[in-house]
Amino acid sequence: MKKLIPLIFCLFGYFAQAQHAISGTFSPAKDYSWLIAYRLKPGTQVYVADTAINDGKFVLQIPKNAKPGTYRLVYAVPQEEFYFDVIYNGEEDIKLAFKTEKGPMFTTSKENMLFSTYFQEIQEMERRLIAFYSSGSSDNDAFTKIIQNYMARQHSYLERSENLTVQEFIRANRPHIPPRYQPLEEYVKNRKDYYFDAIDMTNTVLQASGFLTDKIANYVFTALPLEQISQSETEKAIQENIKTVTTELEGVGDAYKFHVYYSLWTQAVASEFNDTSDFIHSTYLKPLADSTNNQKIMGEIEIHNRLRIGAKAPELSWKDGNTVKKLNNLEGSENYIVFSGVVPVHIA
């Protein structure tokens, strides 16, 4: 017995320090050569490991001291476009098969398999609900059946994910499910009103993932009036949604707030919602820039704003002898070519 007890402790110590790996395949193999892993933190990410992809196969060893959380696997550049996220709990290996047209499919990892199948099934429930309303039906029995199935799926995944990290995401993704049939307008209104009820904005597990920013962006850019409206009206509605998000972010640290607003700014720019991107910039990003040490990003935004299509050209001035001349004071032509290498030019 005296020999057995130390052996048990040795085995326990070995397994407690066991190193885990993320492994699998990429297809088509010729398109992929390297993989980099980052651990996401609220509003940022830190490098963890990298490995080569040889003939479409890879093994990424995770350091023994790596913390659990959401890991971002980058497989091409630009990095902000070519990636997918996995949950690493520090207790299991992860195996997957990645295909260009389908993304990752997990073959080993309870956390990630549950995450994947949960969102697939919930999206299917959403499609059934949308199909019901799109058909113009008001059949209460048919509606009740859809809702009961929806609630059963949500409850089932909550039970199956007990003591797992993935439960944080399943719980936060709980949608508004009405207890009875509601006309479309009422359902959409309630869906928007109760959108954030299940989400704890201060939850660091959610903050250290792409889930929370995706949920916020989905609300901001899609929780809009059902009727067709102009772009100007659309942007006003989006800005009202951002104000709602601001209320929900009370109690959240400035660094994560900046991350959220910058994500929304980026999406507004991509959608050519210039009034909205300017609104986010002036109302939220500027006041947070100093306290979060994000002056570099602010400089990049200001350059973008000056150079974007439709922006008012900056004032140009230069010295001609003892006289300071400005471009907008010149007469005789509406267009000028200024050779800054010949004449010192100041951009106001």
The secondary structure of residue 32, as a DSSP letter, is -
Tens of pLDDT along 151-169? 999 999 999 999 999 999 9
- Total structural domains within the chain: 4
Would 215 be classed as within a structural domain?
Answer: no
Q: Is residue 250 a part of any domain in this protein?
A: yes
Instruction: Say if 4 falls within a structural domain.
Output: no
Tell me the C-alpha distance between 228 and 239, whole Å: 17
DSSP string of 160-194, one letter each residue: HTTTSTHHHHHHHTPPP--SS---HHHHHHHHHHT
Do 97 and 116 lie in one domain? The reply is no
Q: Is residue 31 located within the same domain as residue 102? A: yes
Does an H or E element contain 149, and which? helix 140-160
Q: What is the spatial distance between Cα 201 and Cα 108, in angstroms, rounded to a whole number?
A: 30
Asked, for residue 32, whether it belongs to a domain, the answer is yes
Q: Is residue 56 part of a domain?
A: yes
What is the average per-residue pLDDT within 263-288? 97
Judge if 103 and 119 occupy the same domain: no
Average pLDDT score, the chain: 90
Indicate whether 114 and 204 sit together in one domain. yes
* Domain shared by 75 and 86, yes or no: yes
Instruction: Read off the amino acid at residue 155.
Output: H
> pLDDT digits over 86-113, tens only?
999 999 999 999 999 999 999 999 999 9
* SS3 (DSSP) at 38: strand
Q: Which residues contact 14 (CB under 8 A, 6 or more apart)?
A: none
Residue 44 lies in a domain: yes
310 pLDDT band (50/70/90 cuts)?
Answer: confident
Q: What are the pLDDT digits (tens) for 315-341? A: 777 777 888 877 677 665 555 555 555
- Amino acid letter, residue 301: I
pLDDT at 336: 54
Report d(CA 267, CA 280) in Å as an integer.
11
Pair 117, 73 in one domain: no
Asked if 268 contacts 281 with a C-beta cutoff of 8 angstroms, the reply is no
Residue 228: φ, ψ to 5°: -70, 130
Based on the fold, state whether residues 27 and 97 are members of the same structural domain: yes
Task: Choose the final residue of a domain: 163, 188, 209.
Answer: 209
Q: What is the CATH number of the domain that holds 44?
A: 2.60.40.1120
Q: What is the CA radius of gyration of the chain?
A: 26
Is the separation of the CB atoms in 210 and 70 below 8 Å?
yes
Mean pLDDT, range 170-176, rounded to an integer = 95
Pick from 93, 108, 123: which residue ends a domain?
108
The answer to whether residue 28 sits within a structural domain is yes
pLDDT band at 2 (very low <50, low <70, confident <90, very high): very low
Q: Residue 311 is encoded by which pair of tokens?
A: 């922006």
Joined together, the tokens standing for residue 44 give 């940022």
Give yes or no for residue 8 having a pLDDT over 60: no
Task: Indicate if the pLDDT at residue 60 is higher than 90.
Answer: yes
266 shares its domain with 327: no
259: nearest Cα among 44, 82, 85, 78: 44
Q: Which of 92, 108, 124 is the last residue of a domain?
A: 108
Domain span holding position 115: 110-209
Does 276 share its domain with 338? no
In 3D, which of 177, 175, 188 has the Cα closest to residue 215?
Answer: 175
> Looking at residues 303-310, what average pLDDT do you find?
86
Looking at the structure, tell me whether residues 115 and 197 fall in a common domain: yes
Q: Are residues 230 and 286 in the same domain?
A: yes
Same domain, 145 and 201: yes
In a domain, 7, yes or no: no
In percent, how much of the chain has pLDDT > 70? 88
Please write the tens of the pLDDT for every residue from 244-261: 999 999 999 999 999 999
pTM of the predicted model, to two decimals?
0.85
pLDDT score recorded for residue 5: 45
Contacts of 262 (CB under 8 A, 6+ apart): 285, 294, 297
Q: How many residues does the chain have?
A: 348
DSSP letters spanning 292-313: TT-HHHHHHHHHHHHHSTTPPP
User: Which residues are bridge partners to 61 per DSSP?
Assistant: 21
pLDDT tens profile 18-49: 789 999 999 999 999 999 999 999 999 999 99
- Is the Cα dihedral 67, 72, 74, 75 positive or negative? positive
For the record, the structure tokens of 205 come out as: 């597990």
344 pLDDT band, cuts 50/70/90, is low
| Of 194, 198, 220, 216, nearest in space to 207 by CA | 216
